[in-house]
Chain A
Amino acid sequence: MNRMPVIVVGIFLTFLSSWIGLVAYPYLNLGRFTPVTDPDSGEVFPPPMSGLAVAGQRVYAASGCVYCHSQQVRQVGYGSDLERGWGSRPTVARDFMRENPVFLGTMRTGPDLANIGARQPSAMWQHQHLYQPSVVSPGSIMPSYRYLYRLQKIEGQRSANAIDLLPPDAAPDGYEVVPTHEAEALVAYLLSLNRNYPLPEAPESSQ
């Protein structure tokens, strides 16, 4: 091959084909969803995220949760996601329209989190688990996120948002462990992860 124009045009066209198929197409077709309003209840799906949850999404990204946790429930025939109770229906593209970045994930060292807000709706549990994962969940190799919490002296009354911890991590007498703003945001984000609502293309419990 000595004809440079042929080589360059070929290099351009082969790559252009995938750019059209895997970039331009999804941009035009999967990147322009609008939320759906339920005619009976007037609820909007997927529901808008609170400001705190949006901040929590950034903490999720900064902490690299995606390297061990996916956020996608595959349909029947692609693994046991539904049978494991990770969601009441498979996730669809519209579910992720408000996510930035999207955390679909490629690794399940830990369980899927697509609906963790529905599966573990207690904020206290989430805080305890983030602080002492292997105590709350024996055998877990999730690292502790205690750097997102503060140990402080109890001034008068114990703070309302103090975390109840189990030994060996329990705060010494006169002290308490409270979440930083980042920890509060992260937990708000985790609790917002609930995609069990119905969509026209994904009715609830479509097993």
Chain B
Amino acid sequence: MSATLTMKPEATAEAEARAKVERAEIDASTRLPVVLFYGSAVFWLLVGTLFALLASFKMNAPTFLDQWGWLTYGRVRPAHLNAVAYGWASSAAIGTGLWLMARLCRAPLRHSTLLIGAAIFWNLGVLLGTFGILSGDGRSIEWLEFPNYASGMLFVAYGLIAVWAVIMFRFRQPGHVYVSQWYLLAAFLWFPWLYSTANLLLNFQPIQGGAQGAVNWWYGHNALGLWFTPIGLATAYYLIPKVLGRPIHSYYLSILGFWSLALFYSWNGMHHLIGGPFPAWMISASVVASVMMFIPVVTTAINHHMTVRGNFQALKWSPTLRFTVFGAMCYTLSSVQGIFMAIPSLNVVTHFTHYTVGHAHLGLYAFFTMIMFGAMYYILPRVVGWEWPSARLIRWHFWLTAVGIGMMVVVLSIGGILQGLALLDPGVTFMVTLEYTKPWLFLRSVSGILLTAGHIVFAVSFTMLLLRVGVRKTEPTLFGSDQGRKPERLTV
């Protein structure tokens, strides 16, 4: 099967030169949509971070800004979640996804008006939705808090993107379909279905309360599992081989990983409701599916690890690879953690505690967000034609966010376990279970300050790149010498 090693070095110098021109044309064609989505992503990252800090501080000092309903904890917290999930993470995912799509289809981006329209609708939707939550229109359905006037806009935006993705796919160059594209196509098709079903049954034509929880968590978990995860994995599957200049370790592991993820992840949702008012088989099905996630997770971990093996020194010079490999490792970590959290005897400790919040940040931040940072470091200079202004800023960005998120996950995990064990013991009064968490919630705020600093550094770096501050560089901005590697050696 010759197609198995699709991302391989070009055979001749002439072919390599031709591929270089082709890539440059494709990159240039994606400029406006990529910059639009990335720019919005960074804007919402800052907004979402601000809400996160507010929410965290309010847990340390409940009287802080408590005179206005607009800034009460119960509104700032969902404003944070939605601003980062839909404003930051989804915009970053779309920006990365559309660039990858054009690259992997080996075709310049067509119909960019569809994407520009989508970007406008998406931002309007997130803006109205966040405003709606703060003003008291939020629905308090986790991950689906946006009022209908906002979620409708997101759906229109997403519909445009899905149509565009299908068109791009139809006009791709013939040949092998690389693993990243399976994930991209799946994510672009799954998400509109997921989002429309959940919004229809919970917000537009709400079904009875007894059934809502199941739909809520079918959505909540799949937003992570079938939207962010596939885009994150598609990006890692593309960037790791690209930066290292060597093909992915095993095509067959990629296939196994993809199909087992598609089958098992979609059934995970009910593990958020263990012990809840649902038929035992539904909960059991999700627990089994969660444990089966071992297969795609280990498969992907082996595949990525074997690709990087022997080349770990590249993490020293490549910002893209450092962020991406950090993210890929955290994918394994958060997934394995998630498997254990679904086992009922352990879930009974972690359920209803801050441990789950730590887990969510390990997934959406340490895995997904870090990979998106890595992707931006790779994609933006190619698209804009200007290098990142300073390696020092990138270094600060990496260490502030890596240490910040590491600390956040650790302190929330410890606080959550203490809280969970105390909750289990009816001899411990409820107020004591809260006391156990307080010091850890304080440390969570400290970790949040580190992350905020990292985001500000990144936003400065991002703005400098867009404004083309400084002198034109001829070489990429790296942490050190790349020891003669040529990151773009592979085709597509």
Contact = CB atoms under 8 A, between A and B. Distances in A.
The yes or no verdict on A and B being binding partners is yes
Interface of A: 1-2, 4, 7-8, 10-12, 14-15, 17-19, 21-23, 25-27, 29-33, 60-68, 70, 72, 74-75, 78-80, 83-84, 90-111, 133-134, 137-148
5 contacts: A8-B185, A29-B211, A64-B73, A79-B275, A97-B208
A31 B279 CA distance: 13
Interface in B267-293: 267, 269-270, 272-279, 282, 285-286
Contacts, number: 242
Contacts of A102: 209-210, 212-213, 216
B150 to A, nearest CB: 15
A5 B200 CA distance: 28
Nearest to A3: B177
Given A14-B263, A21-B285, A103-B140, 19 more contacts: A10-B259, A11-B185, A15-B194, A17-B263, A17-B266, A18-B218, A22-B214, A30-B208, A31-B210, A61-B138, A62-B138, A63-B136, A66-B142, A80-B424, A98-B209, A106-B351, A144-B63, A144-B66, A148-B69
Contacts of B344: 78
B262 A32 contact: no
B420 to A, nearest CB: 9
A77 to B, nearest CB: 8
Contacts of A78: 274-275, 344, 348
A97 B210 contact: yes
B430 A63 contact: no
Interface stretch (B74-82, B92-100, B119-127, B235-243): B74-82
B278 A23 contact: no
B19 interface: no
Categorize the interface residue count of chain B.
Answer: 35 or more
Contact of A1 (B141, B255, B272): B255
Contacts of A106: 142, 272, 351-352, 356
Given A62-B138, A67-B74, A11 B186 contact: yes
A140 B212 contact: no
A114 B349 CA distance: 20
A31 B434 CA distance: 35
Contacts of B67: 146-147
A20 to B, nearest CB: 11
B137 to A, nearest CB: 7
A156 to B, nearest CB: 29
